Amino acid sequence: MAISFASSSSSPFSTLSLSRKPLPFSCSLPKSPIKTKKFNARIIAFAYKAAGLKSKQKIQKINEEVSPHRAVSAVRLLRIEQGGAFADLLSEKGRGAAENEMAYVERTLGFRTRDLEDRDLRLVTDIVGGAVRWRRLLDHLILSLCHEERTFREMEPLLLQILRIGFFEIVKLAMPPYAVVDENVRLAKVALRPGAGNMVNGILRKLVLLKETNSLPLPKIEGDARAQARALAVIHSHPVWMVRRWTNFLGQEEAIKLMNWNNGDPRFCLRVNTSRGYTRTDLVEKLEMLKVPHEPSPCMDDFVRVQTGLQTVIQAGLLREGVCSVQDESAGLVVSVVDPQPGETIVDCCAAPGGKTLYMASRLRGQGMVVAIDLNKGRLRILKETSKLHNLDGVITAIHSDLRLYSEKTNLKFDKVLLDAPCSGLGVLSKRADLRWNRSLEDLEQLMDLQDELLHAASRLVKPGGILVYSTCSIDPEENEERIVTFLRRHPEFAIDPVDRYVPPDFTTKEGFYRSNPVKHSIDGSFAARLVRSLNQENPATKK
């Protein structure tokens, strides 16, 4: 037992930070960092006082009974839901990242567990990513097994995360059920209170029985289109609006295939950095030494696919040393649509974090220039640092600006302009586990207005006879083809330049656009249109 938190009293941190009940005193949240630090210190002091501890008393023991990967997963799920964390642990910080996670556990739950081992890190990534993806289904099952709906609706956030972990481990990971029950019951008792452990025990044992008898309470796909979409949204754990939209665009069968892809293990790809003199053969040899399963990309010469072992690649320093970059083939194919040639001047209009910028710069072979424009100063700084690592800083110029303002003020015209527009990200849901819950239909409508504005601004930077490429990581026609139709109606000086000369035929549409399909191509979903500006036709609107 670590401290008295492990007995019948709950952690003061779980009581203050995680309970939905108001604090037992009134306070206002300070905005300045110094005041915030003092405010947090007062909160911690109050918590210790409530638990009968002195404010400087430190936790003496590590709780050996609680599963470390489950404790970290529960806290990380809390942080994701509160908007402060990502769903994976891929990091170049290695053991430092694991130590940070343990620090979060201690601050949130009030005790420490043993340190995370490599296996624990993989489990945290799998469980957190899976619990986020399958949240709608997991919550449906939890609600079904609660005595009353009110029990579920008023459940403490930490208790809900522990149940989600247990349900995911039993339903989707097929872990030994009674070990899962025992471990999660212990976590609930230590992190919250014995009564919480009893609730976890009762609900998880019901689930085990239903799983063993193949009688999970799943909705039936029946009724009208709306009712079927609601059922599919639960079974495949997606927002209802996405299910209805994809069913309308793709048909129900293809929509289900797409959701299955989004719920599968994410697949990653590495691009070798030829600007540093490395070849794909060099990268393959290093992956073989690390025993990382891999296969060459069938559509991009500089890319290698890795199904598992990306953490091993990161920890081995291959990214830090500039040997390769993590970049999906779909992004590489967008660069192929741009077709950078030595001596050209190119603008990347929404450049950060810079993957396409770096790839375009490497294809210039030291001749020409890529201007990287972005609103985010911090991400631009990272791009500049990475360009030095890749030996590309001589051909990349970073500009901190809003594209719309920049295009109004500058008289410069460029050979090629890439607008990789802000979008819904509906093509990358397999990698972004939390994104499906952070998007709404209203977001989509607002993004389309922004995309039109940015396309108009980007068009001002294209010289006569130059190329404008519009791309997204979305699979939604309204963000893709329909934006181009709208743009061309307003900008007759541009015309579609078919992409069939730049990407494999399997990625070209009948309209001459590039499109990747996650289900068909086993890569992220993305889109690109290549537009050429007339040599002599001028649009008065671009002068305004």
pLDDT tens string 181-216: 999 999 999 999 999 999 999 999 999 999 999 999
Cα–Cα distance measured from residue 271 to residue 437, given in angstroms and rounded to the nearest whole number: 30
How does DSSP assign 288-306, residue by residue? HHTT---EE-SS-TTEEEE
Residue at 534 is within a domain: yes
Reported as a single tens digit per residue, the pLDDT across 44-86 is 444 444 444 444 445 447 888 899 999 999 999 999 988 766 6
| Domain shared by 236 and 304, yes or no | no
Q: Which pLDDT score, from 0 to 100, does residue 96 have?
A: 57
The confidence band for 9, taking pLDDT boundaries of 50, 70 and 90, is very low
| Residue where a domain stops, chosen among 170, 189, 212 | 212
Q: Which pLDDT score, from 0 to 100, does residue 509 have?
A: 97
Provide the CA 387 distance to its chain's centre, in angstroms. Answer: 23
State yes or no: 356 annotated in a binding site: yes
State yes or no: 88 annotated in a binding site: no
- SS3 of residue 370 by DSSP: strand
Residue at 220 is within a domain: no
| Domain shared by 119 and 37, yes or no | no
| Domain shared by 128 and 246, yes or no | no
Residue 506, both tokens: 């399997």
Residue 272 pLDDT > 90, yes or no?
yes
Q: Which pLDDT score, from 0 to 100, does residue 336 have?
A: 98
| Domain shared by 357 and 458, yes or no | yes
The confidence band for 21, taking pLDDT boundaries of 50, 70 and 90, is very low
Residue at 59 is within a domain: no
The confidence band for 504, taking pLDDT boundaries of 50, 70 and 90, is very high
Which domain CATH number covers 127?
Answer: 1.10.940.10
| Domain shared by 194 and 253, yes or no | no
Q: What's the domain range around 304?
A: 268-326
Which domain CATH number covers 406?
Answer: 3.40.50.150
Residue at 62 is within a domain: no
Q: What are phi and psi of 429, to 5 degrees?
A: -70, -20
Residue at 57 is within a domain: no
Please provide the distance, in angstroms rounded to a whole number, between the alpha carbons at the two ends of the chain. 71
Reported as a single tens digit per residue, the pLDDT across 133-180 is 999 999 999 999 998 999 999 999 999 999 999 999 999 999 999 999
State yes or no: 402 annotated in a binding site: yes
Residue at 332 is within a domain: no
Which domain CATH number covers 310?
Answer: 3.30.70.1170
Q: What is the dihedral of CA 445, 446, 448, 450, to 10 degrees?
A: 170
Q: Which pLDDT score, from 0 to 100, does residue 36 have?
A: 45
Interhelix angle 95-109/118-133, rounded to 10 degrees, is 60
Residue at 217 is within a domain: no
The confidence band for 539, taking pLDDT boundaries of 50, 70 and 90, is low
State yes or no: 421 annotated in a binding site: no
Reported as a single tens digit per residue, the pLDDT across 441-494 is 999 999 999 999 999 999 999 999 999 999 999 999 999 999 999 999 999 999
Q: Which pLDDT score, from 0 to 100, does residue 8 have?
A: 34
**151-183 in b/e burial notation, b at 16+ Cβ within 10 A?**
ebeebbbbbbbbbbbbbbbbbbeebebeebbeb
More confident residue, 400 or 308: 400
Q: Annotated catalytic sites, by residue? A: 473
> Do 452 and 479 meet the contact criterion of CB atoms below 8 Å apart?
no
| Domain shared by 124 and 164, yes or no | yes
pTM of the model: 0.85
Instruction: Enter the DSSP assignment of 92.
Output: T
- The domain total for the chain is 5
State yes or no: 354 annotated in a binding site: yes
| Domain shared by 368 and 465, yes or no | yes
Q: Which pLDDT score, from 0 to 100, does residue 47 have?
A: 45
The confidence band for 39, taking pLDDT boundaries of 50, 70 and 90, is very low
Question: Looking at 83-97, 376-390, 504-518, which range is the least confident one?
Answer: 83-97
| Domain shared by 79 and 122, yes or no | yes
State yes or no: 350 annotated in a binding site: yes
| Domain shared by 307 and 364, yes or no | no
Q: What are phi and psi of 65, to 5 degrees?
A: -85, -30
Residue at 76 is within a domain: yes
- Tell me the average pLDDT of the chain: 87
Q: Which pLDDT score, from 0 to 100, does residue 89 have?
A: 56
Q: How many CB atoms lie within 10 A of CB 227?
A: 13
The confidence band for 106, taking pLDDT boundaries of 50, 70 and 90, is confident
State yes or no: 353 annotated in a binding site: yes
| Domain shared by 91 and 187, yes or no | yes
Q: Which pLDDT score, from 0 to 100, does residue 371 have?
A: 98
The confidence band for 117, taking pLDDT boundaries of 50, 70 and 90, is confident
| Domain shared by 45 and 141, yes or no | no
| Domain shared by 379 and 318, yes or no | no
Angle 349-355-361 from CA coordinates, rounded to 5°: 75
| Residue where a domain stops, chosen among 170, 185, 212 | 212
The confidence band for 17, taking pLDDT boundaries of 50, 70 and 90, is very low
Cα–Cα distance measured from residue 249 to residue 479, given in angstroms and rounded to the nearest whole number: 13
Q: Which pLDDT score, from 0 to 100, does residue 112 have?
A: 87
